[in-house]
Amino acid sequence: MKNKILFCICTKNRKLKLSKNLLSIRNLRDYPKYNIEVILVSNDKANYSDLLNRFKNNIKINFFRESFPGVVFPRNKILKILRKKKFDYAAFIDDDCVIDKNWLISMMNVIKKKKVDIVAGPQLSKSNNIFLKIMERNCKNGSRIKWASTNNVFFHSNIIRNNINFSIQLNKIGGEDQLFFSEIFKTGKSFLWNSYAPVYEFRDARRENFRWFFKRNIRYGTSSTIIYRILYGNFNGSFVVLIKLISDLIKFFINLSKAIISRKYFFSSLMYLIRIMGIFLGIFGYQEKEY
């Protein structure tokens, strides 16, 4: 019997990009070997009948709507759907990206051979903009990690057999996926980083500027204060926030010392400085909202 794999996608007003995303799923090299379905949750009022009709003979798409706005409610709706379905593996993928053709081959190889519960991979921008490139998460291939992002993660069905959901506290600011998978990690599930299973994010000119870079990193800093307090409680969480603050300060000085070599290091040092500012703002209750 073929393994059943569910691709989980939340979308909002990105029909053109979503169409390319779905096509990349259908074009995966090992697609015929598995029983593949898509769980698609729309967080807008757009008409998706044309898109659904376009793919009805190629991909089984289960379409749902979520009326409450933000990033958390659509993802929690997906969790609710997954908990009622029988499947072997699932993936969270962003709607504004395409998947490498060998993605599924690589993910299945890692999750089965390494016997891990969750495999995360990189999301690479199709733009060469320095702000976007600096923000890309870059881990050593095969390294053990403690959390994953919903932009590129593949997991065994057993990880959602619990009551853990995406936190409403992060609905407007983001970081809900880091918190969710960190809570999963605390239950004893194993994570691995797979550099050979990338997804590619489409260009978005609105993100290729310093204003976006500044606000995004402020948001990373402010959200971390919420994430660690939820994970570890107010007292222990505050201690972890302090460790995070010191870690980012060290990274700031390391990158600043190399700034003369390349502007990449200059902007990396600036990134950590902005995140430090965000942590301080978060400590005093400030939230940088995006969604």
Q: Over the stretch 198-224, which tens digit does the pLDDT of each residue have?
A: 999 999 988 999 999 999 999 999 999
More confident position, 2 or 275: 275
What's the residue count for the chain? 291
pLDDT on residue 168: 95
| Number of neighbouring beta carbons within 10 Å of residue 257 | 11
Whether 113 and 33 map to the same domain: the answer is yes
Average pLDDT score over residue span 118-140: 95
Domain boundary among 161, 183, 205: 205
Mean pLDDT over the full length of the chain: 95
Do 181 and 216 belong together in one domain?
no
Are 74 and 66 spatial neighbours (Cβ–Cβ below 8 Å)? yes
Residues 37 and 180 in one domain: yes
> In which domain, by residue range, is 242 found?
209-283
Which domain-ending residue is among 174, 205, 236?
A: 205
How much is the pLDDT for 286? 82
Q: What is the pLDDT of residue 285?
A: 86
User: Are 16 and 133 in a shared domain?
Assistant: yes
Which residue, of 155, 181, 205, is where some domain finishes? 205
pLDDT at 288: 76
pLDDT at residue 51, rounded to an integer: 94
> Residue 252: which pLDDT band, with cuts at 50, 70 and 90?
very high
State pTM to two decimals.
Answer: 0.94
- Residue 194 and residue 253 in one domain: no
Q: Is there a domain that residue 236 lies in?
A: yes
Detail the DSSP E strand segments found in the chain. 4-11, 35-42, 60-65, 89-93, 97-99, 118-120, 123-125, 152-156, 191-193, 199-201
**Could you give the percent of the chain with pLDDT greater than 90?**
93
- Same domain, yes or no: 106 and 245: no
- The Cα 51–Cα 23 span in angstroms is 11
Tokens 């999963």 — which residue?
Answer: 184
Q: Mark out the alpha helices in 130-289 (DSSP H runs).
A: 130-135, 176-186, 210-232, 234-257, 263-283
Q: What is the pLDDT of residues 88-115, one digit of tens each?
A: 999 999 999 999 999 999 999 999 999 9
Across the range 109-124, mean pLDDT stands at: 96
Backbone φ and ψ of 17, nearest 5°: -65, -40
pLDDT digits (tens, 9 = 90+) for 27-53: 999 999 999 999 999 999 999 999 999
Q: Are residues 23 and 115 in the same domain?
A: yes
